[in-house]
Amino acid sequence: MKRQHAPPGTRVIASTLGALPFNLLCLTVLCVLAAHAPHLPAWYTAMLAAILAARWWQRRHHPRRVQAWLRIVMLVAVPLVVVAVYGSPFGREAGAAIVCGLLVVKVLESESTRDARMTVGFACFILMSALLFDQSLGFTVVVGLMLLPVLATLRALEPGPPGFGWRAALQPGSVLLAASLPAALLGFLLIPRLATPLWGAPDNGAARTGISDRMAPGDIQSLLTDNAVAMRIGFDGAPPPADQRYFRGMLLWEFNGRAWLPGIAARRPWPPAPVDVRGPLIRYDVTLLASHQHWMFALDVPIDTPEGARMGADHTLYSTRPINQTLRYRVDSATDYRLDPEGLAAGIRAAALELPDGFDPRARALAARWRAQAGGSDVAIVRDALNLFHDGGFAYNLDAPPLGRDSIDDFLFDTKTGFCEHYASAFTFLMRAAGIPARVVVGYQGGYWNDFAHYLLIRQANAHAWSEVWLAGRGWVRVDPTASVSKVELANTGGATDGFDAGGSDWWLPWQNRLDIVNRWWGQSVVGFDDIKQSRLFHPFGIEHATAQMLGIALAIVVFLALGLGALLASLRPRTRPRDALAAAQTRLQRKLARLGIVRGNAEGPHDFYLRSADELPESASTLRELSTEYLVLRYATLEPPPERIRGFVQRVRNFHPRRVVK
């Protein structure tokens, strides 16, 4: 290899890796695997960790490279396994799985300092890519701390003192990370952000989170146990009362016997229906976390349309671009209103009454019976349905039993157990069957009101489905059939509320709710710090719009100042210099002699002075001569006097008590 013939003048690197750097390297790679574990299959992470552990054990006992054929097999196997799992080597998860696998293969062949440095660099990059999956405060801090083993490995690759251990290896990295944090933060603020990505659509194939655009039994179920934050809402005035916190996302019009789909609402861009606002408007701003969907949730009936959004005929907001990043918008909403009270257009009315043929005959019969009893009163039919849910032996349970082909019939007459989806679905079906225009609404309901920071925290677990029915003269009216259910079975709800204040099922959640204030700050100030916010950075200094050029100049100044300050700090001599014990002892001795009137002259050397002292103090002459010789030897004849000898001299000076005998 070329490496062995290093050109003259370069350091010949001890090419084999010691035990300490190799252990730290394994720790670094383990950290990277841990950072990617949340979004990779558990068995895949476990397999890579096992290979890493086997490599660690192998090198501990036989310090050499893993055989070439095994490495080649691994190199081929990693992409094959990933393609087998994900179907393609492209996409975020598949890419992360491949690079994690390759990193472990790289450890298999890491035997030299140079290999180890390359592996560590590779690990840094993969560590950063873990943040593409999760930008939350907690995760970012954890990944940031993983820089410590990275820097410790780099340090361990360099020579160290005898007995150099992992603690000493960690030291420079932690000091440097802490010391350079201010500069890193300033750099973060000043590095000009891109308004548009340079390449690629970053969220191609990204996992969609939150509510989806269809509703079949069980779709929301997984969401209801998900405590991830969906959005945060700050109100200009007082927040609406708890029973009014319904955030509409999208409306589902079409029922195919099994699932509810958007139907005409998604197909026909009708103008927003007329709305007759009665009470005061509620003004608020929403911070919606990336959902990779288009729905922009708004309280009840939004009146205006934020920038970049469209309003549907049913007064729902729809973003023109997928929401791939945290989105903030301001809306005015009405909670006391008459929505489309004048009468429905024929097309809309037909869509709101449409039911598939050949499904659920018993439910249809029930609805027909209600219609016959109630005559022309739609309100009575609504009341009948709610009474059925309240008194008919229905129970709320997230662990709903599976339903057959006639899902509404099965639910209404057999299982009688379910959650918001089942109730909204069955209720809307019954209304349509009875001839009342009805539709399903999917959104969020409830939330945690943070009284300290004045905002409403909505988690995915707050996802909810309810209905709207159209009543003559009152327009579309919200009906939440789930709220009528009296019997709640909290088994296995895992902290889900779904309109109920379940309470107590997750002791940790209240604390999470309170601590969410930090996450909110993180989301708004750090994750949401984009080119627009950055351009307002110099606002306090009277600069309206900071250009990339200004930011660049500021960044250069910061780098220059940071390096200058760093150089100044680095050139300081150690503050606590151990004092010269020998000189101190000699001063002490001279002070003792001076008390007896023997003072060293300015031009008098120590040798002469002590001889003179010995002459003046015959009782102490021998001790003085010995001290004098010892001092001269230690000071002038020894390059680095042994510390114990200096200590001995100091001790003797301390014990020396000269007396002048007066004759």
Partner 1 sequence: MPANPPGAPGVAARVRRWSRSFMRGRKPETLPVRLDRRRIYIVPTRAGLGYALLLVTMLAGALNYQNNAALLLTCMLGAALAASMLLTWRELHDLTLRSLHAEHAFCDMRLPLQLAFTDDHRNRQGLSIAVDELEQPCPLRPGASRASVTVATDRRGWMAVPRMRVSSTLPFGLFRAWGWITPAQNVLVYPRLLADSKPPARNDDPNERIVGGDEFAGLRDYHAGDPIRHVAWKASARHDHLLVREFDHAAPGQPLRFDWDALTGIDRETRISRLAGWVCDAYTAAHPWILVLEDHRALGPASDAAHYHRCLAALAELP
Catalytic residues: 420, 464, 480
Length of the chain: 663
224 closest CA partner among 346, 396, 385, 80 = 396
Number of Cβ atoms within 10 Å of the Cβ of 8: 5
273 is an interface residue for partner 1 by CB under 8 A: no
- Determine which residue in the list 191, 207, 365, 518 makes contact with partner 1, applying CB under 8 A: 191
The angle formed by the CA atoms of residues 244, 245 and 246, to the nearest 5 degrees, is: 100
185 is an interface residue for partner 1 by CB under 8 A: yes
Q: Of the two residues 159 and 241, which places its CB atom closer to partner 1 in the complex? A: 159
103 is an interface residue for partner 1 by CB under 8 A: no
- Determine which residue in the list 241, 376, 601, 643 makes contact with partner 1, applying CB under 8 A: 643
Q: What are phi and psi of 339, to 5 degrees?
A: -95, 120
- Determine which residue in the list 18, 172, 218, 606 makes contact with partner 1, applying CB under 8 A: 172
Those residues whose C-beta lies under 8 Å from the C-beta of residue 523, and which sit 6 or more positions away, are 229, 232, 287, 289, 326
Residues of span 414-453 touching partner 1 by CB under 8 A: none
Residues of span 495-514 touching partner 1 by CB under 8 A: none
For residues 123 and 100, the answer to whether their CB atoms sit within 8 Å is: no
Q: Amino acid letter at 521?
A: W
Q: Of the two residues 569 and 662, which places its CB atom closer to partner 1 in the complex? A: 569
- DSSP-derived pairing of the beta strands 301-302 and 337-339: unpaired
- Determine which residue in the list 1, 9, 320, 376 makes contact with partner 1, applying CB under 8 A: 9
For residues 66 and 100, the answer to whether their CB atoms sit within 8 Å is: no
601 is an interface residue for partner 1 by CB under 8 A: no
Residues of span 194-253 touching partner 1 by CB under 8 A: 194, 197-200, 202
**Structure-derived torsion over alpha carbons of residues 419, 424, 426, 431, reported in degrees to the nearest 10:** 160
The angle formed by the CA atoms of residues 290, 294 and 296, to the nearest 5 degrees, is: 80
CB of 275 to partner 1, least distance (A): 36
Residues of span 387-416 touching partner 1 by CB under 8 A: none
- Determine which residue in the list 47, 81, 124, 646 makes contact with partner 1, applying CB under 8 A: 124
Provide the mask over 547-576, with x wherever binding to partner 1 is found by CB under 8 A and - wherever it is not.
Answer: ---------------xx--xx-xxx-xx--
CB of 17 to partner 1, least distance (A): 13
E strands present in 41-155: none
1 is an interface residue for partner 1 by CB under 8 A: no
| Span of 125-133, 381-389, 395-403, 458-466 interacting with partner 1 by CB under 8 A | 125-133
Structure token digits, residue 465 = 């489905």
Q: Of the two residues 41 and 641, which places its CB atom closer to partner 1 in the complex? A: 641
3-state SS assignment for residue 421: helix
Residues of span 322-381 touching partner 1 by CB under 8 A: 325
Number of Cβ atoms within 10 Å of the Cβ of 75: 15
473 is an interface residue for partner 1 by CB under 8 A: no
3-state SS assignment for residue 197: coil
Q: What are phi and psi of 439, to 5 degrees?
A: -150, 160
For residues 303 and 334, the answer to whether their CB atoms sit within 8 Å is: yes
- Determine which residue in the list 96, 154, 229, 386 makes contact with partner 1, applying CB under 8 A: 154
Residues of span 33-62 touching partner 1 by CB under 8 A: none
Count of residues interacting with partner 1 (CB under 8 A): 72
